[in-house]
């Protein structure tokens, strides 16, 4: 996912979409996401693995996953293979794919920022991002916050934005 060693990750939209689909599949909520040198740390609150007679049945616990770059690459390949299905890009009526869609639109935002380090957490559908950007010799953290309503609006408008041609850029900075 890095073009060359030391570069920022590329295509956060796809990376986070795939990790979001994984979080949805694990029935996580209140997620925390941290970029590591060779992958990512994903934490969330979920149900423990176990049978119905488990002492923890119905209890929620923090679950942690260390996802390597290779594992995320496999997730991305799987997500891309599902493309073209009838409603692959649409929210399910009860938003069972909320993290897939929410993290996708956040990833699109992150792609515009070109950070060198990403950390985010979510609570009750709202997200706080901390991005580390390097300009010249100094690094600087940037904080961004998205409410659940803002995320839902971004999800709703995403298909229209993908159909618009990319704006032309000039050489002037």
pLDDT at 52: 56
H helix or E strand, kind and range, residue 156 = helix 148-163
Structure confidence by residue, pLDDT tens digits, 3-18: 434 455 678 999 999 9
| Distance from chain centroid for Cα 12 | 7
Do the Cβ atoms of 115 and 133 come closer than 8 Å? yes
pLDDT at 123: 94
Using CA atoms, how far apart are residues 87 and 93, in angstroms rounded to an integer?
Answer: 11
- Region 132-143 average pLDDT: 81
Q: Is the pLDDT of residue 1 over 70?
A: no
Q: How many CB atoms lie within 10 A of CB 17?
A: 27
Position with higher pLDDT, 25 vs 3: 25
Q: Is the pLDDT of residue 54 over 80?
A: no
- Region 86-101 average pLDDT: 67
Q: Which two tokens stand for residue 89?
A: 């890009």
pLDDT at 163: 58
| Distance from chain centroid for Cα 160 | 20
Q: Is the pLDDT of residue 135 over 50?
A: yes
Using CA atoms, how far apart are residues 43 and 40, in angstroms rounded to an integer?
Answer: 10
Using CA atoms, how far apart are residues 43 and 66, in angstroms rounded to an integer?
Answer: 9
């Amino acid at each position: 996912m890095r073009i060359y060693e030391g570069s920022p990750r590329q295509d956060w939209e796809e990376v986070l979409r795939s990790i979001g689909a994984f979080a949805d599949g694990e029935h996580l909520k209140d997620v925390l996401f941290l970029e590591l040198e060779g992958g990512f740390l994903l934490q969330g609150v979920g149900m423990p693995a176990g049978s119905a007679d488990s002492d923890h049945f119905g209890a929620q616990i923090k679950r942690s996953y260390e996802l390597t770059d290779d594992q995320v690459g496999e997730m991305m390949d799987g997500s891309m293979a599902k493309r073209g299905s009838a409603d692959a890009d649409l929210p399910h009526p009860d938003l069972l794919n909320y993290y897939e869609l929410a993290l996708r639109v956040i990833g699109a935002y992150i792609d515009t920022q070109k950070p060198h380090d990403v950390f985010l957490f979510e609570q009750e559908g709202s997200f706080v991002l901390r991005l580390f950007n390097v300009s010249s010799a100094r690094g600087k953290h940037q904080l961004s916050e998205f409410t659940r309503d803002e995320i839902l609006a971004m999800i709703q408008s995403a298909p229209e934005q993908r159909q618009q041609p990319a704006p032309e850029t000039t050489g002037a900075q």
